[in-house]
């Protein structure tokens, strides 16, 4: 009995995947530094968070632009529904990231607090969701007898 595994690849270009890797890494790192700040009250952790969020927002903006161009370029018509969902997720991730950056620009304890922590959690979850949607590998096994 022969089995073949068919894999449908992601709709993201490899360069797009590299750009998406930055928010996927930087938003969770900012979340960890927020948690560390809430546990230690050392102000330097909010500075780390601010820089991590700024870097994630920079690349998230590039990801949104790439997703928008990719959606309307007609490159992947077979996955347009998934492309629209992906665009919505990365756009919301970017918008919440910018709001999070403004929140972290505040002074002292108010920079993180509950709102900053919740925004960091949402940005992290949206970044992971965007990576999951962009990857989108589905495998099927066919039996050939």
CB 59 within 8 A of CB 15: no
Question: Would 143 be classed as within a structural domain?
Answer: no
CA 59 – CA 80 distance, rounded (Å): 23
Q: Which phi-psi region, left, alpha or beta, contains residue 67 (left: φ > 0; alpha: ψ -120 to 50)?
A: alpha
pTM of the model: 0.80
Question: Would 4 be classed as within a structural domain?
Answer: no
Number of compact structural domains in the chain: 1
Give strand pairing partners of 7: 139
Question: Would 1 be classed as within a structural domain?
Answer: no
Which tokens sit at 22? Answer: 């930055």
Q: What pLDDT, on a 0 to 100 scale, did the predictor assign at position 17?
A: 86
CA 127 – CA 60 distance, rounded (Å): 9
Question: Would 7 be classed as within a structural domain?
Answer: no
Question: Would 86 be classed as within a structural domain?
Answer: yes
Question: Would 53 be classed as within a structural domain?
Answer: yes
Question: Would 142 be classed as within a structural domain?
Answer: no
Question: Would 37 be classed as within a structural domain?
Answer: yes
The model's pLDDT over 60-112, given as tens digits with 9 standing for 90+, comes to 999 999 888 888 876 555 566 788 899 999 999 999 999 999 998 887 667 77
Q: What pLDDT, on a 0 to 100 scale, did the predictor assign at position 138?
A: 46
Tell me which residue range forms the domain holding 124: 14-136
């Amino acid at each position: 009995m022969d089995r073949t595994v068919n894999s449908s690849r992601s709709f993201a270009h490899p360069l797009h995947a590299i750009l998406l890797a930055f928010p996927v890494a930087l938003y969770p790192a900012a979340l960890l530094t927020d948690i560390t700040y809430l546990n230690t009250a050392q102000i330097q952790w909010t500075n780390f968070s601010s820089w991590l969020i700024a870097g994630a927002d920079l690349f998230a903006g590039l990801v949104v632009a790439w997703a928008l161009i990719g959606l309307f370029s007609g490159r992947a018509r077979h996955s347009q529904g998934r492309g629209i969902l992906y665009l919505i997720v990365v756009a919301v991730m970017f918008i919440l990231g910018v709001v999070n950056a403004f929140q972290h620009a505040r002074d002292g304890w108010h920079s993180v607090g509950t709102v900053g922590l919740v925004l960091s959690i949402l940005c992290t979850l949206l970044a992971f969701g965007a990576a999951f949607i962009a990857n989108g590998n589905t495998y099927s096994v066919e039996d050939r007898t």
